[in-house]
Homo-oligomer: A and B are copies of this chain.
Amino acid sequence: MRKTKRAKLETAGWAVGSVTEFLGLSHAEAALIEMKLGLSRSLRERRQKCGLSQVQLAGRLRSSQSRVAKMEAGDPSVSMDLLVNSLLLLGATATDLAKAIRGGEKGKGRHAA
């Protein structure tokens, strides 16, 4: 239930920007995936901005290069906990994460008025 549909997404090509509900995902599933993708992108940006390779980041995280790659690829085997934790270790604040999360949001809501 948690992996199957996301797997489909992976296979499907990932237009990501809004490529979700069209596969019959529930709003919740779609939103969750988009949030994770927002975090993935944010992680890669932050890592690069820090001038770190995946190997170096993996060292800091006490993880491995392959997992970092999967994180940045939005692999369905990566949990939100891991993404968030990694971002925090790179110095992201809760506000930064909030932005990354909303970054994955659809077209919703207006800005101010």
Chain A interfacial positions (CB closer than 8 Å to B): 1-2, 26-28, 31-32, 34-35, 62, 79-81, 84-85, 88-89, 93-95, 97-99, 101-102, 104-105, 108-109
One complex includes copies of this chain to the number of 2
Contact residues of A: prevailing secondary structure:
helix
Contact B105 A95 (CB under 8 A): yes
Contact B108 A32 (CB under 8 A): no
Which of A88, A94, A95 has the largest count of B CB atoms less than 10 A from its CB?
Answer: A94
Contact A95 B102 (CB under 8 A): yes
Query: Given known contacts A31-B93, A94-B105, what 5 new A-B pairs fall within 8 Å (CB)?
Result: A79-B80, A80-B81, A94-B102, A94-B108, A95-B105
Contacts of A79 in B (CB 8 A): 79-81
C-alpha gap A98/B95 in the complex (Å): 8
C-alpha gap A108/B62 in the complex (Å): 27
14 contacts between A and B (CB under 8 A): A1-B62, A28-B88, A31-B88, A31-B93, A35-B97, A79-B81, A80-B80, A93-B105, A94-B104, A94-B108, A95-B102, A95-B109, A97-B101, A98-B102
